[in-house]
């Protein structure tokens, strides 16, 4: 199980959003840290096959990410996730189950399971328009898990979550990372310091640090600010 990024570049006219970066991910949780505009979202959208790279390659166990086989084992929560306000939470997950090719029977079982995992079972039959921001975000996390992905990409997934919800979320992601590849983008260091195995830091489209979190000998937030040149 390996996701490999090789000399990846994305250029928009005169701006290079991602600049010839290379790394590989194995089973576990990797935190992707960086300020807004560092290139994190662009990188994730290329991994998910939404954006076409200007140069370089991305593969999962030798399968190109543009291949349908990769999409079948991919889960993705974008930063700005769209909802259908008139759907109930359960209907929303059943809809995404159909898009992922699950049978009705499997979809029902998986929907109930995920609503329990993200703590939305008690509001499963309520319309999404009645949900708080944090509840919508938890529903988005559930949607990303619907097909039991081997590769899970999460872009700022804790936006809108209160402190208790953040703890619940971390527990879910930590469990998923035991058997799968998880790449979690955030600019909030505390979101990943307790669950990430590795940290990749990006600045101006480049990787400025890539290593095990156990290699960081000081407070992670202090280390991040130091690497970013902000202390």
Highest mean pLDDT among 134-143, 184-193, 202-211 belongs to 202-211
Phi and psi of 175, rounded to 5°? -70, -45
The answer to whether 188 touches 219, Cβ cutoff 8 Å, is no
Nearest to 150, CA basis, from 174, 182, 180, 184: 180
Provide the token pair at 184.
């979690």
Q: Grade residue 231 by pLDDT with cuts at 50, 70 and 90.
A: very low
d(CA 138, CA 40): 21
Phi and psi of 109, rounded to 5°? -60, -45
Q: Which of 27-31, 161-165, 205-209, 226-230 has the lowest mean pLDDT?
A: 226-230
Render pLDDT for 147-157 as a digit per residue (tens, 0 to 9).
Answer: 999 999 999 88
The answer to whether 17 touches 10, Cβ cutoff 8 Å, is yes
Q: Which of 10-14, 57-61, 62-66, 167-171 has the lowest mean pLDDT?
A: 167-171
Q: Grade residue 82 by pLDDT with cuts at 50, 70 and 90.
A: confident
Nearest to 30, CA basis, from 162, 209, 159, 226: 209
The answer to whether 64 touches 4, Cβ cutoff 8 Å, is no
What does the pLDDT read at residue 79?
82
Predicted TM-score (pTM) of the model is 0.88
Render pLDDT for 9-60 as a digit per residue (tens, 0 to 9).
Answer: 999 988 999 999 999 999 999 999 988 888 999 999 999 999 999 999 999 9
What does the pLDDT read at residue 230?
59
Q: Which residues of 140-177 are buried (b: 16+ CB within 10 A; e: fewer)?
A: bbbbbbbbebbbbbbbbbbbebeeebbebbbebbbebb
Pick the CATH number of 1-73+149-231 from 3.30.930.10, 3.40.50.300, 3.20.20.370, 3.40.50.970: 3.40.50.300
So where are the chain's domains? 1-73+149-231, 83-147
d(CA 22, CA 83): 34
For all residues of the chain together, what is the average pLDDT? 89
Nearest to 131, CA basis, from 84, 95, 75, 78: 84
């Amino acid at each position: 199980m390996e996701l490999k990024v090789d000399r990846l570049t994305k250029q928009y006219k005169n701006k290079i959003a991602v600049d010839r970066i290379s790394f590989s991910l194995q089973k576990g949780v990797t935190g992707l840290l960086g300020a807004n505009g560092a290139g994190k979202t662009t990188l994730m959208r290329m991994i998910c096959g939404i954006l076409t790279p200007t140069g370089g390659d991305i593969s999962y166990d030798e399968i190109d990410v543009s291949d349908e086989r990769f999409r079948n084992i991919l889960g993705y929560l974008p930063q700005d996730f769209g909802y259908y306000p008139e759907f109930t939470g359960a209907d929303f997950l059943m809809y995404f189950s159909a898009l992922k090719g699950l049978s009705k029977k499997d979809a029902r079982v998986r929907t109930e399971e995920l609503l329990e995992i993200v703590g939305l079972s008690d509001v499963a039959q309520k319309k999404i328009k009645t949900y708080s921001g944090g509840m919508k975000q938890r529903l988005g996390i559930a949607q990303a898990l619907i097909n039991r992905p081997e590769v899970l990409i999460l872009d700022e997934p804790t936006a809108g979550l209160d402190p208790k919800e953040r703890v619940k979320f971390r527990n879910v992601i930590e469990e998923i990372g035991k058997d799968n590849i998880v790449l979690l983008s955030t600019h909030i260091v505390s979101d990943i310091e307790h669950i990430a195995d590795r940290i990749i830091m990006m600045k101006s489209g480049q990787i400025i640090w890539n290593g095990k979190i156990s290699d960081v000998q000081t407070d992670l937030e202090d280390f991040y600010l130091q690497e970013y040149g902000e202390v």
